[in-house]
Structure formats: C-alpha cells, structure tokens
Amino acid sequence: MSDLYRSAIHARASKLPPVPPTVYPGHTYGDEVEDDGDEDAEMGDSLGSLPSEMGPPKFSSSRRQRTSNPSFAPISAAGYFEQATQVSVVTSGLDFRAYYTPPKFADGSVLVCHHGAGYSGLSFACFAKEVTRLSKGECGVLSFDCRGHGKTSRIGSQSSKDEDLSIQTLTNDLLNLLSTIFPDPISAPTFLLVGHSLGGSVCVRACPLLQERKYRTTGVAVLDVVEEFTLEALPMMQSLLDARPEGFDSVEEAVEWHVKTNAIRNVDSARVSIPSVVVQNPRPTTRAPAYLWRTPLRSTAPYWTSWFTGLSSKFLSARTARLLVLAGTERLDKELMIGQMQGKFQLEVLTGVGHMIHEDDPIRLAELLVEFWRRNERVLVGIKKVGDL
C-alpha cells in the first residue's frame, strides 16, 4: 500500500514507546504493461525459462495529453534477473510469472521474495541484482507475481473479478509454487523467505509449512510491517486511496507519479517495477485514463484484517532465524518489543527510505540480507554436520 500505509500509521507512532536497541542474534537463532504486444518488450533479451524442476488530485474531466518523459521510461528486467517465465501450478489453478537468478551451486540458497499488495515481483529487481553481486552468485533470488497481480494469470486465461486474496490462499499459492519448481525437498536449495508488507505475512505463515514438507529454511525476513500499527491504520485506507489518481495517460506518467510523490524514492527501481502495476485501459475515452491500476486495492479491502492479524505471534514462533526491517523511526508493538528485548529476532531500522524499503535502498537492504544469510546459513550447515556425525 506504499506511502498510503505510512501516512496512516505515522499518526499512531508517537503514542508508543521507542524501539529498543538492535539485538544481533548469535548462533542459537533456531505491488511494463499487460498488453499482448508488450511481452517481448518486457524481456527483450530473450531470457531463459525456469527449470522444469524448479496524493495528487484525480484526473479532471478534460484530459490533456502529456509528452512522455524519457527520464521515467520503462527499463527491462533483463538486466536484473537471469530468467523469467510462466510457471503452471495446477494445484493453485494459476500460471505464475516468476523471475529467477539461480545460485551458482546446485544445492545453494535462494531468497524467495513475496511483494506487497498492489505491486509485483519486479519490485525486488534492483534488490535481486545487488544480492547476486554481494554474494558473488552464491545466493540466488526467486521473485514472483502473486495471485491477482502482475502477469500471473489463471490457467486457461480465465479471469476473475472476484479473486480470492485471503491469507490462506496466498500462503498455499507460495507453497504450491515452490513445490512445483523444486519438487524434491532433499535436492532443493535452502530458502530464505523475504516478504514486504502483505508478503511478509505470507512468508511467516508459509515457513513452518515448508518445514513440515522437509524443505530447509535459513530464515524469514519481514520488511516494514508491524501488526498493531497496520491494523490501526486500516480504517483510514479508503480515504487515503481516494488521493490516488484514477489512472495515467502513459506508463511514464505512472512511473513519474510514484517517484514525485515519494511512493518510490529510487527512480531506476520505479522504471523497472511500476510498468507491471498498471494495465492498458480496454475502453479509453477523453475522460478516462489510458492506463489503470492492474490491482484495484479497494477490491482487496475484505481481506485486509486477515492479512495481518496474528502476524507478530507467528513471526516470533517461527522455528528459524528471524529478521525485521523497518523504515525510519517506526515503533514495535508490545509483543514484538518483548520479543526483541528477549533477543528472539534481529531488528534493523533504515533511514532515508519509505515503505518500499527494497526499492528505495536496495543496496543497503541487500547488504543486510546477505549478512543475515551468511551468518545463519553457517548455523544451519553446522547443525547438519552434527547430525551426520
């Protein structure tokens, strides 16, 4: 929900106690255009497929065409991921759009990234490139468009205006996708689950279920979402959504709006990710914009509460390493504060970023995640060796 979310929760922050000092754990840490003609343009470098086993006012009634600004022109994702494909997942009834850079070793680790509501897997593009660079290819990145977002579609091209976006369905989708790409838990890479906002809630719920299926998990990282703040902010969301434009006259205008409103503070990331969150209007008129939001957030309102209820307790009870990354000076809710004081998770607070942490400062976030992965991967490997002995 971008900076709409942040605007709503800022009013709540001053009522809560400050964030405790950061605790670093030891070794005991147990939201491109949907257009038939745009498909080739999006991945113009002929990327390979995944392995089979693996605030401004609304538009006025008299619209005026604007000249496209090349500074906000879309950028292909080809320079950020090695592979892109549609993965058919029969158990979910979906063709998932997935972006993948595999690790250089067959049994390596993979960061599995789940985006927030309204965005797409390409919101992790710049971050994925930095992870590959910093880990020297030892850590792969898999990012995908979740149900009702991006280029993920129903099998058989059957669309639905009433998409089921319940937290349980989204969690099952993640499990089904990973089970389709990596059907054998023994030979599958080790997963580090990374989720932004809604995606964080999905990853937290998916973690123990993956472990039940014998998949190895190095940890779970949640980006900029705290249960109490989010639930308190939800009643304000409808009015905040009223401040968004109905649509845009061009993809460049959509990118520009996100940058100039600080919804995304990194123009390069916005040029990669935002084209996938708008879709060409099938019935444009002089009064209607040429491009509309691909995922209308108002339609997801019935699910908002279920997305985040219980997030804190599930995060703290995850049987893996835990990392919470917040933007600015946000506060923890009581449950997380107690858990943080007890050293149950690692807390990082970034400055100079908004809600889209992974887009605003992909370098700093990649540094944090690669460090987190290296430290806890050694712990996981050490446990395996003890078992072998």
For residue 196, give the CATH number of its domain: 3.40.50.1820
In this prediction, residue 158 has a pLDDT band, given cuts at 50, 70 and 90, of low
212 pLDDT exceeds 70? yes
The CA-based dihedral angle spanning residues 295, 254, 260, 326, taken in that order and rounded to the nearest 10 degrees:
30
Alpha helix ranges (H) inside the chain: 2-13, 39-42, 125-134, 167-181, 198-212, 227-233, 237-241, 251-260, 267-273, 304-308, 311-317, 334-341, 357-360, 362-388
132 pLDDT exceeds 70? yes
213 pLDDT exceeds 50? yes
Containing structural domain, residue 39: 2-388
In this prediction, residue 284 has a pLDDT band, given cuts at 50, 70 and 90, of confident
In this prediction, residue 50 has a pLDDT band, given cuts at 50, 70 and 90, of very low
User: Residue type for 89, please?
Assistant: V
244 pLDDT exceeds 60? yes
Based on the residue annotation, tell me whether 355 is a catalytic residue of this protein. yes
pTM metric for this prediction: 0.83
Based on the residue annotation, tell me whether 224 is a catalytic residue of this protein. yes
55 pLDDT exceeds 70? no
Q: Which residues pair with 323 in a beta bridge?
A: 221, 346
48 pLDDT exceeds 90? no
Cα(359)–Cα(121) distance, rounded to whole angstroms?
A: 11
**Mean pLDDT computed over every residue of the chain:** 83
25 pLDDT exceeds 90? no
Percent of the chain with pLDDT over 70: 78
64 pLDDT exceeds 60? no
Cα(280)–Cα(289) distance, rounded to whole angstroms?
A: 9
Q: Give the residue with greater pLDDT, 73 vs 39.
A: 73
- Residue 180: its pLDDT value, please? 97
In this prediction, residue 160 has a pLDDT band, given cuts at 50, 70 and 90, of low
Domain count, the chain: 1
161 pLDDT exceeds 80? no
Given 31, 95, 224, 360, the catalytic residue: 224
Work out the average pLDDT over 5-25.
45
Residue 6 burial (10 A CB sphere; 0-12, 13-18, 19+): buried
Look at 55-59, 84-88, 188-192, 283-287 and tell me which has the smallest mean pLDDT. 55-59
- Residue 328: its pLDDT value, please? 76
Q: Contact at 8 Å (CB) between 346 and 315?
A: no
- Residue 300: its pLDDT value, please? 92
Pairing of strands 190-196, 217-223: parallel
Given 355, 358, 360, 361, the catalytic residue: 355
- Residue 329: its pLDDT value, please? 64
Within 10 A of 313 (CB to CB), how many other CB atoms are there?
13
Pairing of strands 321-327, 217-223: parallel
13 pLDDT exceeds 50? no
Alpha helix ranges (H) inside 159-226: 167-181, 198-212
Q: Which two tokens stand for residue 235?
A: 């009643």
What confidence tens digit (pLDDT) does each residue in 308-328 have? 999 999 999 999 999 999 997
**What Rg do the C-alpha atoms of the chain give, in angstroms?**
20
What confidence tens digit (pLDDT) does each residue in 162-192 have? 689 999 999 999 999 999 999 999 999 999 9
302 pLDDT exceeds 90? yes
- Residue 377: its pLDDT value, please? 84
- Residue 227: its pLDDT value, please? 94
Given 7, 92, 120, 197, the catalytic residue: 197
